[in-house]
Structure 1
């Protein structure tokens, strides 16, 4: 069974750890120096015109037919996974856990980067909510109540924490019973929440929708403006600068980054030889230690980031309190880079196994997709030099983009006298994130 989505076994990567870490420090330091000298005013504007794509593309994307087809695809695929979860035999040949932990959790990253927030069309709960509203003749944008502004992204952050806890700390994450509970619970949570609070519920409280929207903010595709909905190609960092800031935004990125770091940490020799001996033979202790480790990782990421962003001088108390939320978007490239590096071979290789398994959801010898005779390709793992370069490159690219995003936002937030010195603490934190990310990748 698929118990966790860590790639594991990264000690064979043929790049000395010290070389990768020194290179990371130099990359971030040089990038910051270049930014300080050549980037002295904010340049990342989410309302910049960009390059307009053909008008017919906007019409196709926004058409009711496209939305209906993609919604049916999302609901149909969810039903197919449910068929495997409720009707298939438990064991490694069942594709439901892989669909949940691989295709959804990891696959949502490349999908959102390449296509923007397409999850808003594919989301099964959005589609089902729309169908219910159509049957009741209700406007899907509005609900019975107005979504409380004080909640912000907090429900999504807690939902993401519940998911990563299920995968990384619960007693049996790969069990079909676990997948069944999540399938039923998520559909009920999304549809009922949408009826209660309308479309805002998905934008702030749906964990997978918010996760996809955060990653999609780094996509090169966006809308020209809130009033002009034409699709344009734009600097991805400019799109990222437009990520809506709301309560709980730091919690969301902390859960995403902290959980990935914890997943890497559980593959290190220290955890496997030391920590596992503390709870060996006791399922309850195992859950307790893993839960404590996961929460510690998430809280440390959040605490260090909040302290670093509030360290700037020349700000009023109100401005200082707002800094973590205003700069939280700069962690999104780091999250994407680290998730991509950590789960790259996992997505490519176990993703193939999952798709092949889903061709026979009930394990009865079916071959409905014509994939029964295929075998997964492990080409990527068989080329460790390429895998190492890709992993290091993804981490460094994510961190450099994070530095750029943070620097540009700081130029608009910090007083002129502290525009550079006010970023030093955040710079050190990002270097630390780079060191930690590479160390955990290579120590697994």
Structure 2
């Protein structure tokens, strides 16, 4: 079985590699190619002022959080919840409707991409995937609740297929999902997948074959819990949402407050995936800005290959983000002198990064989603007759302030969650406070980088 598992892993890797080698001929970042009308301009205030203000806000919030030292109060706040128990009819009816819509949407995207007009702002497949799922459904997953386990069309289709139930190798963990997620981001950034509907449909068709084959071999739960990058992404984002599924219904509490006790991160591959959520938005934010494009152009002018430059920035930056976080965990262990290993500390303090990732995603995609909302509504209400001249909303200038607020709110929530985790982990109040310092420093660094990126004017990625 292990030999078959290794062969299938090679097959999966080969499939992803084939997708990665698609010809790069046009810009593919959704926020740029679909919505140039919403391109950002530089903010009117000096960048050093709001960057230092943003970093100072996070530092001040950490300082204030350190004064909340009542363990019973922290425990009470995080355990507070309202339980909702929908009737069996509502649960079954809602499940059936969402599963049906997911399968229909997948079929529609493939059909529309292959046979519809090859104009990205008109083709329903592009609008539905990037505005509906990449932006809208992901936003819903962390602001309200995660609907993907029910909407997921591949999981629904896999229920009618037999399964070989080959034991999934536990030591592999979620590393395939990490690689798959980074691969999908690379495809989105460096290929014309959102400019060419037929290419989008072809990629989704290949993804469907790989996914259904994997579910057939290893079983639905093992595949979608460990290998499928889209399912893992929604799982992590959904853990921040105020509405969580429970054994007998729904549980409602403040966003992210269930993370300290949920133990959603249990291995290094989970940390790698969470940091990938943060890094991918940093990477796409950088290469779609004027300074980012100028940086790439400068390196290419020196003789470096275009894709080599992008790949170096992509992999190197991701490795730097992971390395800095793990270094913070090692520094924390040395600083507080705890018996916890640096690995254990890294696992415990990783969930707050999900709040940062959610704030990043909202800042990058909320305006994009609002701009394309009329087009998305037209696709949903008239999928077979998309409008020839779709409406794209132009956002007012004050929308940039919302982006800054989203980033700061995500980081503030992360600071509080780290504070709660520290008090749950350490008996000594002084140790609990000191254990947060290194992780807060990393969060402040993430804040400054993100605020700097969203302040820059957008541009088409160079040479793509």
TM exceeding 0.5: yes
Structure 1 residue 98 and structure 2 residue 107: aligned? no
In 2, Cα distance between the equivalents of 1:164 and 1:44?
A: 38
Q: Matched residues in 2 for 1:49 and 1:428: separation? A: 29
Report the equivalent of 1:26.
56
Kindly state the Cα deviation for residue 168 of structure 1 after the two structures are TM-superposed: 1.1
- Give the structure 2 partner of residue 406 of structure 1: 418
Distance 1:187 1:46, change over 3 A: farther
What SS does the corresponding residue of 1:303 show, helix, strand or coil? helix
Call closer, same or farther: CA 1:301–1:60 in 2, change over 3 Å.
Answer: farther
Matched, 1:70 2:98: yes
Q: Tell me the TM-score normalised to structure 1 length.
A: 0.85
Q: Equivalent residue for 1:157? A: 178
Contact kept in structure 1, 2:42 and 2:456, CA below 8 Å: no
TM-score under structure 2 normalisation?
A: 0.81
Distance 1:88 1:170 in 2: 20
1:349 positional shift: 1.5
**Aligned residue in 2 for 1:290:** 310
Alignment match of 1:307 (pick from 327, 337, 341): 327
Give the Cα separation in 2 of the matches to 1:427 and 1:123: 35
One of 427, 435, 446 as aligned partner of 1:422: 435
Q: In structure 2, how many angstroms separate the alpha carbons of the residues matched to 1:376 and 1:45?
A: 48
Q: Secondary structure at the match of 1:91?
A: coil
Q: SS at 2:435's partner residue?
A: helix
Do the aligned partners of 2:193 and 2:200 also contact (CA within 8 Å) in 1?
A: no
**Is residue 2:256 matched to residue 1:237?**
yes
- Report how far residue 158 of structure 1 moved: 1.3
Match of 1:216 among 238, 241, 266: 238
C-alpha separation in 2, matches of 1:199 and 1:49: 30
Q: How has the CA–CA distance of structure 1 residues 177 and 376 changed in structure 2, closer, same or farther, with 3 Å as cutoff? A: closer
RMSD: 2.9
| Counterpart in the other structure of 1:348 | 370
Shifted more, 34-43 versus 350-359: the winner is 350-359
Q: 1:352 to 1:205 in 2, by over 3 A?
A: farther
CA distance in 2, matches of 1:112, 1:44: 25
- Structure 2 segments unaligned to the other structure (5+ residues): 1-25, 33-37, 458-464
Aligned pair partner of 2:153 in 124, 127, 131: 124
Residue 157 of structure 1, CA deviation: 1.3
In structure 2, the partner of 1:396 is: 408
Distance 1:103 1:288, change over 3 A: farther
After superposition, what is the alpha-carbon deviation per residue over 1:278-329, rounded to whole angstroms, capped at 9, x for unaligned?
33799x922221121111222121111111122113233x622122222211
Name the CA distance, whole Å, in 2 between partners of 1:235 and 1:58: 24
d(CA) in 2 for partners of 1:293, 1:61: 48
Give the structure 1 partner of residue 195 of structure 2. 174
Distance 2:88 2:330 in 1: 44
Query: More displaced, 351-360 or 285-294?
Result: 351-360
- Whether contact under 8 Å (2:359, 2:406) holds in the other structure is yes
1:108 matched to which residue of 2? Answer: 137
* Cα distance, 1:279–1:388 mapped onto 2, change above 3 Å: same
1:367-419, Cα deviation, whole Å (9 max, x unpaired): 3xxx638742424x2x112x022111100000000111112112222462522
Match of 2:393 among 358, 363, 378: 378
CA 346–412 in structure 1, closer or farther in 2 if over 3 Å, else same = same
Distance across 2 between alignment mates of 1:325 and 1:35: 21
Distance 2:117 2:393 in 1: 26
**Where does the alignment leave 5 or more consecutive residues of structure 1 unmatched?**
none
Q: CA 1:46/1:415 → structure 2, altered by over 3 Å: closer, same or farther?
A: closer
Report which stretch shifted further, 396-405 or 407-416. Answer: 407-416
Contact 2:142 2:358 in 1 (8 A): no
1:11 is matched with 41
Out of 414-423 and 183-192, give the one that drifted further. 414-423
* SS of alignment partner, residue 279 of structure 1: helix
